[in-house]
């Protein structure tokens, strides 16, 4: 275990270039970073074949620290850049990391369309129920009644579920995990990366500094422990009544279906219509 952790630390972090990082002590972002690296490591991918794109926010800073082809884009737009990369070079494995505000407020349109298109990209969304980086304003996942720097009287709007949104919009694979269940999160991310089609992992995370503090949810440890108490595995949740699920949420694979992938369909069109066989490179076209 310890040796493995050291191997990952040595191989996948840009330790000599970009540390220390910008995150607050105890932030869940570090746990998500660890899970992502462990998942890629256990899949044995060459890091040159992996592209990680992110938007703007605390969580999106992740791309600065990890040693892949990394693309730190504009706020909410990671999936649009990732779409271009994937279509231009289908052999690359493209993963995006986004915050809840990034992916579902400013980037909401791109998110639902990436899911509808079912492009072969993995989307990891760190849901900390707030805009961490800009100082704790309310986000699309801030619960009703919560206090934030822009809802000091209590939030009057209702939140939505990122996972349900992804399922409805057409994603092939949707899973939810938390930063408490790190080993489980490793598996969810691994499955999402392997899945062919648009795959989403919603990670319930803590921003104790901006969100927890204002809502008396405790520090990092207390918040993370709360996730342990609130999370119910999918199979168990099926046997529970609505009242029993009150204040809780499901974790695990929420959706896993097979459907045509637009990148593959397009590659077929290209093969059928290409008039310049010299320009066709099957290898480049191979969609992983």
Ligand X SMILES: Cc1ncc(C[n+]2csc(CCOP(=O)(O)OP(=O)(O)O)c2C)c(N)n1
Q: Which residues contact ligand X (rule: CB under 6 A)?
A: 56-59, 75, 99-102, 126, 128, 130-134, 139, 207
If the CB atoms of residues 58 and 253 are measured against ligand SF4, the closer one turns out to be 58
Site for another protein contains 110 (CB under 8 A): yes
| Contact predicate 35/182, CB 8 Å | yes
The binder of ligand SF4 chosen from 50, 56, 209, 267 (CB under 6 A): 209
Burial 74-100 (b: 16+ CB within 10 A, else e): ebbbbbbbbbebbbeebebbbbbbbbb
The whole-angstrom distance between residue 189's C-alpha and the CA centroid of its chain comes to: 8
Please, what is the minimum distance in Å from the beta carbon of residue 154 to another protein? 33
Q: How far is the CB of 155 from ligand X (least distance, A)?
A: 15
In whole angstroms, how far apart are CA 67 and each of 12, 16, 111, 117, 274?
5, 11, 25, 29, 36
If the CB atoms of residues 80 and 215 are measured against ligand SF4, the closer one turns out to be: 215
Beta strand spans in 55-121 (E): 69-72, 93-99
CB closer to ligand X, 59 vs 83: 59
Residue selected from 128, 139, 163, 178 as contacting ligand SF4 according to rule CB under 6 A: 128
Give the pair of three-digit tokens for residue 21.
Answer: 């990082």
Stretches 97-105, 191-199, 205-213, 270-278: which one binds another protein (CB under 8 A)? 270-278
Q: Are strands 122-127 and 199-204 parallel, antiparallel or unpaired?
A: parallel
Distance CA 171, CA 258 (A): 10
- Closest distance between ligand SF4 and the C-beta of residue 206, in Å? 7
Does 33 help bind ligand SF4 (rule: CB under 6 A)?
A: no
Q: Tokens at residue 130, please?
A: 């707030």
63 lines the binding site for ligand SF4 (CB under 6 A): no
Please choose, out of 87-95, 200-208, 216-224, 243-251, the segment that lies near another protein by the rule CB under 8 A. Answer: 87-95
Q: How many CB atoms lie within 10 A of CB 266?
A: 15
List the single partner that 24 binds among ligand SF4, another protein, ligand X, none, CB under 5 to 8 Å by kind.
Answer: ligand SF4
Pick 172 or 215: Cβ nearer ligand X = 215
Residues at the site binding another protein, with contacts judged by CB under 8 A: 14, 17-18, 47-49, 51, 53, 56, 63-64, 67-74, 77, 79-89, 91-92, 109-110, 113, 266, 269-270, 273-276, 279-281
Using CB under 6 A as the criterion, which residues of the chain lie in contact with ligand SF4 when the complex forms? Answer: 23-24, 27, 29, 58, 128, 132-133, 207-210
């Amino acid at each position: 275990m310890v040796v493995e952790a050291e191997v990952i630390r040595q191989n996948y972090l840009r330790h000599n270039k970009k540390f220390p990082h910008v995150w607050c002590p105890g932030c869940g972002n570090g746990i998500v970073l660890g899970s992502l690296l462990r998942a890629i490591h256990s899949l044995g991918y060459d890091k040159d074949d992996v592209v990680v794109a992110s938007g703007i926010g605390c969580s999106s800073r992740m791309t600065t620290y990890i040693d892949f082809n990394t693309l730190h884009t504009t706020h909410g737009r990671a999936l649009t850049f990732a779409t271009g990369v994937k279509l231009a070079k289908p052999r690359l494995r493209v993963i995006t990391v986004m915050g809840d505000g990034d992916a579902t407020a400013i980037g909401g349109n791109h998110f639902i369309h990436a899911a509808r298109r079912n492009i072969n990209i993995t989307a990891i969304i760190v849901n900390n129920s707030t805009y961490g980086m800009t100082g704790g304003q309310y986000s699309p996942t801030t619960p009703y009644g919560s206090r934030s720097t822009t809802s000091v009287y209590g939030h009057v709007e209702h939140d939505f579920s990122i996972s349900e949104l992804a399922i409805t919009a057409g994603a092939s694979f949707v899973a939810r995990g938390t930063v408490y269940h790190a080993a489980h999160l490793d598996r969810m991310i691994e499955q999402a990366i392997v899945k062919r089609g648009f795959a989403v992992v919603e990670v319930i995370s803590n921003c104790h500094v901006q969100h927890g503090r204002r809502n008396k949810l405790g520090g990092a440890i207390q918040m993370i422990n709360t996730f342990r108490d609130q999370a119910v595995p999918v199979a168990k949740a099926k046997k529970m009544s609505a009242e029993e699920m009150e204040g809780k949420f499901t974790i695990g694979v929420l959706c896993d279906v097979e459907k045509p992938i637009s990148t593959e369909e397009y590659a077929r069109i290209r093969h059928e219509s290409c008039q310049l066989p010299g320009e066709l490179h099957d290898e480049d076209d191979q969609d992983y």
